[in-house]
A and B are shown apart, each in its own frame.
Chain A
Amino acid sequence: MAKLSINGRAVEVDVEADTPLLYVLRDDLKMNGAKFGCGLGQCGACTVLVDDKAVFSCMVPVSVLEGRKVTTLEGLGTIDKPGPLQRAFIEEQAAQCGYCTAGILMRAEGLLRENRRPTDAQIRERLSANLCRCGTHNRVIKAVKRAAEYLRTAATTDSNRT
């Protein structure tokens, strides 16, 4: 039995301790955000945040997550109320097949939680842990910058935002 906190919700799942988080999210909790791409920590499709930092969920056994905070794509907003990054990706149309997009978005979220003013070079460097085959790279970089801008304006109008 693993106790997890996912997007602020406490959940308990009955799985073997060595099960990687990715399988718990997708298979047990029926969540779609994190994607299986390689299971080897090479592509980033499965990226989620653990304690605000991007991790490859395919390589994180649930046994190490007790007392830690997991954030997935679903935690950033909904289709009706998308979060700043989600909005920016829609507005920049920063996807083709969109399979890699969720993981990229989560790594970008990790970056923005650290740094509201990332430079192009910082975005490129950070996102290099993720792969995209369709070639959305340049649009994604634009979308991340746009989201950073939203966050900054939101921060000035709503100082309560985290």
Chain B
Amino acid sequence: MTNKIKSAKLPSGLSRRALIANGGALVVGFSLSDALAQAPEAPPVAAAPPPPLPGSLRVAPMIDAWIRIDAAGKITVLTGKVEIGQGVKTALRQVAAEHLGVPLGSVTLVTADTARTVNEGYTAGSQTLQDSGTAIMHAAAQAREILIKIAADKLGVDAATLKAEDGFVVAADGKRLGLGELVAGDVLKVKAEPATASKLRDPKSYKVIGKSVQRVDIPDKVTGGAAFIQDFRPEGMLHARVVRPPSYGAKLASVDTARIETLPGVRGVIRDGNFLAVIAVREFQAVKAMEQLAAAAKWSEQPTMPEQASFAAWLPAQDKRAIPIRDVKGDAPAPAKTLDLEYFRPYHMHGSIGPSCGVAQFKDGDMTVWACSQGMFPLQDAVAQLIRLPKDKVRCIHLEGSGCYGHNGADDAAADAAYIAFKMPGVPIRVQWMRADEHLWEPYGAGMVMRVKAGIDAKGMLTGWDYEVFTDTHSTRPGGAGSTLVGQSIENGFKLPAPQPAPQPNGSGDRNIIPPYKVANLRLIHNFQPHMKLRVSALRGLGAYSNVFAIESAMDELAAVAGEDPVAFRLKHLVHDARATDCVKLAAEKFGWKAGAVTGRGNGRGQGVAYSRYKGLAGYCAVAVEVEVDQETGRVRLVRAVAAADSGTVVNPDGIKNQIEGGIIQSASWTIHEQVSFDRTRVLSRDWSRYPILRFSETFESVEVHVIDRPGTPFLGTGEASQGPTGAAIANALFHATGQRIRALPFTAPRVKAAIGV
């Protein structure tokens, strides 16, 4: 059903709101972003009616929705996206400055605010530059042309003789007009033209794009500036803490709140259904009161989860909707050899270092929410529904939080704050989650089982590839009030709408299910199993990390069976894709890959390589790693990583390196350490001691990133590109170090030791 709705058929004037009213929120949310993601590479449409507007201009076609210039010449760029540590505050400024012809420092950027910016949905899927960057680029170029035309009229010269430079329109005779002098009236209140009409600057002349500029947000963050939502302290703010149940579905049996209400500083206790919160003047008073409230609360709990130890076997047996992704029969000889393999990844946490935080104030009938989640507009919908206010009475403003890597607790904390603020009108309420709240209640990245059956012919060419993935949903948003914890816990609360799988090419658990390699027979199935035994939602890359782990591990296993070098084996199946080939070759070359050097003989040190193109249509990334394995303990030591990345036009090369590097290290942590542990009733990973992540002593000795710039080509995004290949590269290196193939993540010391044997 949903898969078939094509974004092209959406009437452009139809708002997300209208669609939600039609019960199609998810459909549109994803279809819309599909369209945006595909835009850069969409084949030219033959004499179609008006050509589509580029990037998010499709959602908001007015130039002044993106770029505003006041009479004093102050330039404000507005984006519906948010900064989550990926550096877009800087990159988007670069894009605007380049195409407006103004200095980088003169651009003020406003990020998602339901009262000010365009609704660009979620900041997710490495799409900020594709969506917002593309829109701002074209809006800036068109704004520049408009201003030049006005200047030409003023100066009585031909517009072609004018240039926009350093914040001025400059004439051939050296006369300069400031942009503020040119903007009288609503000159930018015009509809954007299609991409073909934009006079984009020639990439060869770029002055700001393609240069490594220092990120604008870092100085505050290293000197104690107010950089995060946690640092936001509106006058008169009170501190709230929520006492969450000890397990999923636990019911609040009884609680004596009277004593808690008399504790020092306590201003109130809220109990509504299974929702329990305390509000105090000072933060530590709130913490202590919360602990006392927790001690007073009695819950009834039920075992609702499967056995963790047998989860990998349990999962494929659950109810499923088998969604065929590809079923292609081609011409290939019968396989000379076949492999039948199964891979597993456990539940992973987002694990933000700063637990989620939200601030809200309900004043004179208006609700304002400050949040650090990825989508202010969907949050606005959720809050409006939660407190039953018209949507225009709810404003959501983004403030930066600790890195979230997807759908973590940020929306929940914001909804907590909004709900409590609604009950205590007038006062700003700050809800800070505690560590255990975050560990236990964030929606995890779902566990997955991947099965590969593949064959190769006598020449070592793939003949067929049969792949199935089994997994829960990878997104429980937007789900309105029903997707928030508070919405679910209050009396007469809300239900999470039944999750739907997102269609390809974005996909969800099936993201990156399509192997990049040439193969004649291809059968791909996404077994969608929304059992939701553990709370789950979008974690960086969704299914991509695990699918790439499985595909790239299997490719290595096939190379070994074929007796071929892993790099050569990949390259000969990538001949149809020049950019992929470049990427793999560059990583191998910079790594110093020697064909035949990896043998799987198991002498304790190994090298591995892996490649993927994120979602099959975004950034290309190849990663090669070297690891060492301690024979006795099974501990994996990360020696070095070398990556090559092609993200299309490079805006901020160092920004891309930083993102790729971070992705590699985070992925290494997932790969060697991480799994959420649980018993039948409770999640056990309540803090870092039971969910260890990579420490400084364990990181690679070196991480090198080589960026391939393709000036003038579409932005492809970067943030999630390196995660998949890194996990697989480590798996492959581990095989070459130990001679053992480990197909279940994570590669903890005991598991590796068990595989090595004595």
Contacts and interface: CB of A to CB of B under 8 A. Distances in A.
Decide if A and B touch, CB cutoff 8 A. yes
A95 to B, nearest CB: 5
Which 9 residue pairs across A and B have the least CB separation, nearest first? A97-B85, A135-B665, A98-B221, A97-B403, A135-B662, A99-B402, A33-B224, A137-B699, A127-B696
B442 interface: no
Interface in A2-31: 15-16, 19-20, 23, 26-28, 30-31
A15 B281 CA distance: 12
A133 B230 contact: no
A57 interface: no
A82 B223 contact: yes
A31 B224 contact: yes
Given A35-B354, A43-B353, A73 B222 contact: yes
Contact of B284 (A23, A37, A73, A100): A23
Interface in B684-698: 687-689, 693-698
Nearest to B655: A93
A40 B355 CA distance: 13
Interface of A: 15-16, 19-20, 23, 26-28, 30-33, 35-40, 42-43, 45, 72-74, 76-79, 82, 85-86, 89-91, 93, 95-102, 105, 120, 123-128, 130-141
A32 B228 CA distance: 9
Nearest to B226: A32
Nearest to B662: A135
Contact of A90 (B219, B352, B669): B219
B590 to A, nearest CB: 16
A137 B694 CA distance: 9
Contact of B84 (A23, A74, A97, A137): A97
B221 A30 contact: no
B284 A36 contact: no
A152 B645 CA distance: 36
Given A79-B225, A86-B219, 20 more contacts: A23-B284, A37-B354, A38-B355, A38-B435, A38-B688, A72-B224, A76-B223, A78-B223, A95-B215, A95-B221, A96-B87, A96-B403, A99-B354, A105-B222, A128-B695, A128-B696, A132-B696, A133-B403, A138-B661, A141-B699
A78 B687 CA distance: 33
B355 A36 contact: yes
A2 to B, nearest CB: 12
B697 A99 contact: no
Contacts of B689: 42
B557 interface: no
B91 to A, nearest CB: 13
Contacts of A42: 435, 687-689
B661 A90 contact: no
B160 interface: no
22 contacts: A19-B284, A23-B287, A28-B282, A30-B233, A31-B224, A32-B224, A32-B225, A35-B353, A38-B687, A45-B354, A76-B223, A79-B219, A90-B218, A93-B654, A93-B658, A95-B222, A97-B85, A120-B701, A125-B696, A132-B696, A133-B353, A138-B661
B683 interface: no
A140 B231 CA distance: 23
Contact of B702 (A23, A33, A45, A138): A138
Nearest to B433: A36
Interface in B146-176: none
A32 B87 CA distance: 21
Nearest to B432: A36
A32 B662 contact: no
B109 interface: no
Contacts of B228: 32, 35, 99
B8 to A, nearest CB: 36
B220 A133 contact: no
B163 to A, nearest CB: 32
B654 to A, nearest CB: 6
A138 B353 CA distance: 18
A90 B214 contact: yes
Interface residues of B, number: 65
B591 interface: no
B410 to A, nearest CB: 12
A101 B222 contact: yes
Contacts of B662: 96, 134-136
A86 B696 contact: no
Interface string B214-244: 1101111111111110110100000100000
B355 to A, nearest CB: 7
A51 B664 CA distance: 37
Residue among A38, A96, A99 with the most chain B CB within 10 A?
A96
B318 interface: no
A137 B665 contact: yes
B698 to A, nearest CB: 8
Q: Is the interface of A mostly helix, strand, loop or mixed?
A: loop
Contacts of B354: 35-37, 45, 99
Contacts of A90: 214, 218-219, 222
Interface in B64-88: 84-87
Nearest to A88: B222
A85 B669 CA distance: 26
Contacts of A95: 85, 215, 218, 221-222
Residue among B84, B233, B696 with the most chain A CB within 10 A?
B696
B248 interface: no
B405 interface: yes
Given A135-B666, A138-B665, A140-B696, A37 B353 contact: yes
B661 A82 contact: no
B658 A96 contact: yes
B700 interface: yes
Given A23-B283, A128-B695, A101 B221 contact: yes
B355 A98 contact: no
A135 B223 contact: no
B695 A131 contact: yes
B351 interface: yes
B497 interface: no
Given A40-B687, A133-B352, A138-B661, A27 B223 contact: no
A15 B400 contact: no
B428 to A, nearest CB: 14
Interface string B421-458: 00000000000101100000000000000000000000
Interface string B354-390: 1100000000000000000000000000000000000
B218 A37 contact: no
Nearest to B434: A39
Contacts of A23: 282-284, 287
A132 B405 CA distance: 13
A114 B717 CA distance: 42
B449 to A, nearest CB: 26
A120 B700 CA distance: 12
B635 to A, nearest CB: 15
Contacts of A76: 223
A28 B435 CA distance: 21
Contacts of A134: 85, 403, 662, 666
Contacts of A131: 353, 688, 693, 695
B110 to A, nearest CB: 19
B230 A15 contact: no
Nearest to A99: B402
A84 B469 CA distance: 50
A137 B696 contact: yes
B496 interface: no
B416 to A, nearest CB: 16
A148 B435 CA distance: 33
Given A27-B283, A77-B223, A130 B231 contact: no
B84 A93 contact: no
Contact of B222 (A86, A120, A125, A138): A86
B303 interface: no
Nearest to A120: B701
Contacts of B654: 93
B703 interface: yes
B203 interface: no
A32 B353 contact: no
